[in-house]
Amino acid sequence: MAHPEPTSSDRAGDRYARELERHLDWLDTFTSTALGVLSAASGIYTYLGVRTLLDDPGLWTTFAALAYSIAVSVGIFVFWSYLLRLLPAVRSAASRVGLMLTMVLGSVAIVAMSSWLNAAALAGGAAVETHMATTVQNYQSALERAHANAVAGQSLSRDVARVRQSFQDLSEQEAGGTLSGFSGRGAVFRVLTQKSAELQALEAQLLGLGEPIEQTFTEGNSILSRMRGTSVEPGPIEDRTVRFSEDAVELAGLITQLRQLNPAPLVARAAQDLSDAVVLPELDGTTAEMRAGQSSTINAVLTLVAQRADTLSAAASEVMALPPPDEALYTPMSAADAVIAYAENFIPAWAGAISIDLLPAVLVFIIMVVQAAIRSGRGEGHSDDRMTVGELRAALAASELLRQADAAQVRPHVPPHTRPFEVPRDGGA
């Protein structure tokens, strides 16, 4: 059956398809080389990332890191080579969906085994420095909070001084006979001076804490300054991490010391003892009327002591209710762990690390689009009739052999006895 004569549209589509095929043939000459370069580059950065995870600098460690990076390079090259050839060639929707799902799964595997290590090699040191800088901020907040709480507790000395002064004033009034109506230093006077002495000792203790609190805070700020310098100074990150860890441990001890120097719990306990622990002296009035007046005044003094104790206890409770400093703890991180923990700070590094592994996916989609354009130009029913020069020569040689075989079969075979008599040229019989 004769084939229909191709129309001008068919001839234009065929020329368009042949032009795209020539471009693909030229691009195919270096696509494998480019893919190999990308795979090798990813393997190099993977090797650097693996070395950040392995502490032992021995020969076997180097061999293990090298073997892993080579395996990653080979895996990336083989995976994308398969997809570059197969995914653009399939035509059914089910096959395309299946291979695309395979490509997604393989891309996830590549990111898991290579890209994060590439990111660690690209930005691992900077990520560790970011971790140290964040730790410094956390320690600074904790130190300032602990210092503020300690200063607030130490400031309770003013409340203690005010209560102490009130008892001293009352004792002077009692000495003049204003309270109980009987002048002198009797039982009421001794109760008032007893509580005044307790509060004076507490006040002296609170005032004595001012210097240790400020000294500890100054020392903590000095360590913080040293930690900031360690986090940004040049040099191997491993050595700086060790020094940073030592300073962090020392600073954590100072923060704990500041928390212990906060005298608010001491004031709360002293306020409780102020009202509970009262040694009542023996009434020393010479007459029953004087002793009754002393007893009544002592009861009033005890009520006043309880009120003042409640006031101090409330003030101490307000200080103890202040937010405590956050638990500042420095945990050393490897470069690979730090680049994951602070991934949002290193988006360009992550983008580069992932792109070097997944860039061939763009080539796959480009070839898919071009192959679809070629099929559209030639039609779905067209079969590929392209031949290379070598294939053309082989086809011509095979054609010549077939022609010779056909000629040999067609040539007639003449038996010897039927051949015509030939007269010898010398004239013999």
pTM: 0.67
Both 117 and 140 in one domain: the answer is no
Domain boundary among 273, 300, 334: 334
Classify residue 111 by its DSSP letter: I
> Do 284 and 351 sit in the same domain of this protein?
no
- 79 vs 39: CA distance, rounded Å: 10
The pLDDT value recorded for residue 175 is 66
Range of weakest confidence among 4-13, 39-48, 197-206, 267-276: 4-13
172 vs 150 pLDDT, higher one: 150
Residue 420: inside a domain, yes or no? Answer: no
What tokens were used for 153?
């507790």
Residue with tokens 């990520």: 127
Query: Does residue 187 share a domain with residue 295?
Result: yes
Q: Are residues 157 and 277 in the same domain?
A: yes
Domain of 112 in residue numbering reads as 8-124+346-381
Single out the residue in 273, 299, 334 at which a domain terminates: 334
**Angle subtended at Cα 420 by Cα 419 and Cα 422, rounded to the nearest 5 degrees:** 120
**Structural domain includes residue 310:** yes
pLDDT of residue 1 exceeding 50 = no
Do 193 and 320 sit in the same domain of this protein?
A: yes
Q: pLDDT per residue over 49-91, tens digit each? A: 888 777 666 778 788 888 989 999 999 999 999 998 888 888 8
* Of 182 and 48, more confident: 48
> Same domain for 275 and 363?
no
Are 28 and 174 in the same domain? no
User: Residue 180 pLDDT > 60, yes or no?
Assistant: no
CA dist 399 and 406 (Å) reads 11
Residues 288 and 162 in one domain: yes
Higher-confidence residue of 365 and 273: namely 365
> Do 196 and 293 belong together in one domain?
yes
Lowest mean pLDDT among 205-209, 246-250, 309-313: 309-313
Residue 264 confidence (pLDDT) = 85
> 8 falls in which pLDDT band (50, 70, 90)?
low
Helices 288-320 and 116-154: crossing angle, nearest 10°?
A: 160
3-state SS, residue 168: helix
pLDDT of residue 178: 62
What integer pLDDT is reported at residue 427 of this predicted model? Answer: 44
372 and 303 in a common domain: no
Q: Are residues 191 and 154 in the same domain?
A: yes
Query: Which residues, other chains included, contact 144 with Cβ-Cβ below 8 Å and sequence gap of 6+?
Result: none
Residues in the chain: 429
End-to-end CA distance of the chain, in Å? 63
| Nearest residue to 143 via CA among 51, 224, 233, 62 | 224
Q: Has residue 425 been placed in a domain? A: no
3-state secondary structure 304-356: HHHHHHHHHHHHHHHHHCCCCCCCCCCCCCCHHHHHHHCHHHCHHHHHHHHHH
In this predicted structure, the answer to whether residue 395 has a pLDDT above a threshold of 50 is: yes
Q: Decide which of 21 and 244 is more confident.
A: 244
